[in-house]
């Protein structure tokens, strides 16, 4: 999701700057107080990283960090699309119609979670990552647990995995790809982002 080498170089450099600044202010000599100053500088850098950067700057301006630090654009928010399953309805003996689906992605700096909801079921990811292939194409890959709201006899709870290509076109983001489930069904998913905001809960 981000260039880890670049990221930690930035924080090490910031820590050194804080340390030098504290030494200049305190005028520490090479003794135990110098070690205390170094520890304080490291603590301040970590505090800035965990509170100021991840909890405030990233949430306010995530697009500032692509592509020089983050490997993908900010994909958080609400998405609208369809699932095209190869599941055969036991009543009609036909492939089910495309399923209108809402997706919500919470994109933190170092973590992505995905939830999906349709009229019949909902699912939540329990692991996710960004994969970049040899051609530079970027994919959101995640494994999820699906729970049915109704008709659990024909639509039982199950696990599944999805791989969705992240596509940027005319300043709009799209997700498209395939999934497979523990029920031995597969399908296609297509989504377009409709909002960069997440739900309150």
Q: Which of 41, 65, 89 is the last residue of a domain?
A: 65
Q: Quick: pLDDT tens for 146-198.
A: 987 666 666 678 899 999 999 988 888 999 999 999 888 899 999 999 999 98
Q: Are residues 60 and 105 in the same domain?
A: no
Contact 130, 139 (CB under 8 A): yes
Q: Are residues 171 and 81 in the same domain?
A: yes
Q: Are residues 51 and 102 in the same domain?
A: no
Q: Are residues 45 and 90 in the same domain?
A: no
71 is a domain residue: no
Q: Are residues 90 and 57 in the same domain?
A: no
Contact 124, 113 (CB under 8 A): yes
Q: What is the span of the domain harbouring residue 29? A: 4-65
pLDDT score of 52: 79
Q: Alpha-carbon distance 71 to 3, whole Å?
A: 7
27 is a domain residue: yes
Q: Quick: pLDDT tens for 76-124.
A: 999 999 999 998 888 889 998 999 999 999 999 999 999 999 988 899 9
pLDDT score of 49: 74
Query: Could you tell me the sign of the dihedral formed by the alpha carbons of 31, 32, 35, 39, in that order?
Result: negative
Q: Are residues 10 and 102 in the same domain?
A: no
Q: Alpha-carbon distance 27 to 194, whole Å?
A: 55
pLDDT score of 55: 82
Please give the mean pLDDT across all residues of the chain: 84
70 is a domain residue: no
200 is a domain residue: no
Q: Alpha-carbon distance 125 to 58, whole Å?
A: 22
Nearest by Cα to 15 from 42, 54, 34: 42
Q: How many domains does the chain have?
A: 2
The pTM of this model reads 0.79
Q: Are residues 60 and 90 in the same domain?
A: no
pLDDT score of 56: 86
Q: Quick: pLDDT tens for 15-40.
A: 667 666 666 666 655 555 555 555 56
Q: Are residues 81 and 170 in the same domain?
A: yes
Q: Are residues 113 and 184 in the same domain?
A: yes
33 is a domain residue: yes
């Amino acid at each position: 999701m981000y260039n880890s080498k670049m990221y930690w170089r930035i924080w090490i450099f910031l820590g050194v700057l804080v340390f030098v600044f504290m030494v200049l202010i305190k005028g520490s000599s090479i003794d135990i107080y110098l070690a205390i100053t170094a520890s304080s500088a490291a603590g301040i850098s970590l505090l800035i990283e965990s509170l100021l950067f991840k909890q405030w700057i990233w949430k306010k301006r995530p697009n500032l960090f692509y592509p020089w630090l983050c490997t993908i654009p900010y994909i958080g928010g609400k998405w609208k699309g369809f699932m095209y399953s190869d599941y055969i309805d036991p009543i009609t003996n036909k492939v089910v119609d495309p399923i209108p689906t809402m997706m919500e992605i919470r994109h933190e700096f170092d973590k992505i979670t995905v939830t999906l909801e349709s009229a019949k079921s909902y699912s939540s990811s329990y692991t996710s990552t960004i994969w970049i292939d040899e051609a530079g194409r970027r994919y959101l890959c995640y494994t999820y647990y699906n729970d049915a709201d109704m008709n659990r006899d024909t639509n039982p709870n199950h696990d599944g995995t999805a791989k969705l290509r992240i596509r940027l076109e005319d300043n709009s983001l799209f997700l498209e790809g395939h999934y497979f489930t523990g029920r031995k069904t597969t399908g296609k998913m297509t989504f377009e982002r409709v909002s960069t905001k997440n739900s309150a809960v």
